[in-house]
Amino acid sequence: MENNNQSHDATRTCLAVITGPTGVGKTRICTELAELFDVPVISADSRQMYREMKTGTAVPSPEELNRVRHYFIGNLSIHDYYNASMFEAESIALLEKIFRSKNLVFMAGGSGLYIDAVCRGIDDLPAVDPDLRNDLAAKYQRLGIGWLRQMLKKLDPDHYQVVDLKNPNRMLKAVEISIMTGKPYSASLGGKKKKRNFGIIKIGLELERKELYERINRRVDEMIEKGLIAEAEGLYPFRHLNALNTVGYKELFEYFSGNVSLEKAIELIKRNSRHYAKRQMTWLAKDPEVKWHHPDDRKGIIDFIEFRTGLKS
């Protein structure tokens, strides 16, 4: 079913979201499309924002950055605090500015929470009782991540299926909100959609699982060749920071700590990247507004954009 944000109206400005799982080819396709329509790209990748993490987050190449203006690439340090609510505010302000001279802007990324922040708005969640937060944090430190996972699975089985089960901060937040509100954390999400003064279309890129996983494995090998090990080694002293709780880095930190071999660490990066892609697809599959295309279906994607926006490439 179409919504009002996606009506065919050539006089309206439009945000075209290019999304999909890691490794599917979002950056390449979005750069090509933005160059074709002569418009900029807003990155909705929550890790490509950190300037110290270029190799492991597969930021656009210097050549791609020269061809098309990209926003939110390398704009933060790993020491900076940042969240989806801040991204929402900054992106909406940026879009208002760009739309004064352009009718179309692309957004590329696989961070579903960041994309939803711009397209739907961040839900107004209750403030957590500090005593509850401290109590849960203490229990997590004492009982470990297995206890935290079981708590989340009991309180919110739906969110348990999509959350990063290696990210204790996100799980703690979900448990906190579930206990405070007396209902699953996921029930507090996806509330009333904020009204935007621009149209929104969403294009999802998908591949057969076997091909996607092969691409992910190859990309990890390419990252290793491009210097990921040296990049991660330089960041090892800061491994406690939330920004570095990221696939590609945390596995190498285990290698530097002497807990696994380098071969095993690389194997884990590939496995965890595949698992992350699966979680991304689970999240995106719930959005009926996404129009799915094969990454190589360039003509079909262009035709869809032109039809939905009334613009010509």
Structural domain boundaries in the chain: 10-123+191-309, 130-188
- Compute how many other C-beta atoms are within 10 angstroms of the C-beta atom of residue 229: 19
At the topology level of CATH, where does 130-188 sit?
Histone, subunit A (1.10.20)
At the topology level of CATH, where does 10-123+191-309 sit?
Rossmann fold (3.40.50)
Residues 6+ apart with CB under 8 A from 216: 22, 23, 270, 273, 274, 277
Six-digit token string for 280 = 């991304």
Check for a shared fold between 10-123+191-309 and 130-188.
Answer: no
Six-digit token string for 145 = 């991540």
pLDDT over 70, % of the chain: 93
What pLDDT sits at residue 85?
82
The distance in angstroms from the start CA to the end CA of the chain is 26
The string of pLDDT tens digits covering residues 270-285 is: 999 999 999 899 888 8
Mean pLDDT, the chain, as a whole number? 90
Residues 6+ apart with CB under 8 A from 225: none
Q: Which of 266, 284, 278 is nearest to 56 (CA)?
A: 266
Banded pLDDT at 313 (limits 50, 70, 90): confident
Residue 189 reports pLDDT greater than 90: no
Distance CA 297, CA 29 (A): 10
Mean pLDDT computed over 74-93 = 92
What pLDDT sits at residue 1?
33
State the helix-helix crossing angle for 228-235 and 209-225, rounded to 10 degrees.
Answer: 70
Mean pLDDT computed over 78-98 = 92
The string of pLDDT tens digits covering residues 158-170 is: 889 888 888 898 8
Is the pTM of the predicted complex or chain greater than 0.85? no
Distance CA 21, CA 108 (A): 11
Six-digit token string for 210 = 């076997």
Segment of 72-86, 118-132, 200-214 carrying the highest mean pLDDT: 200-214
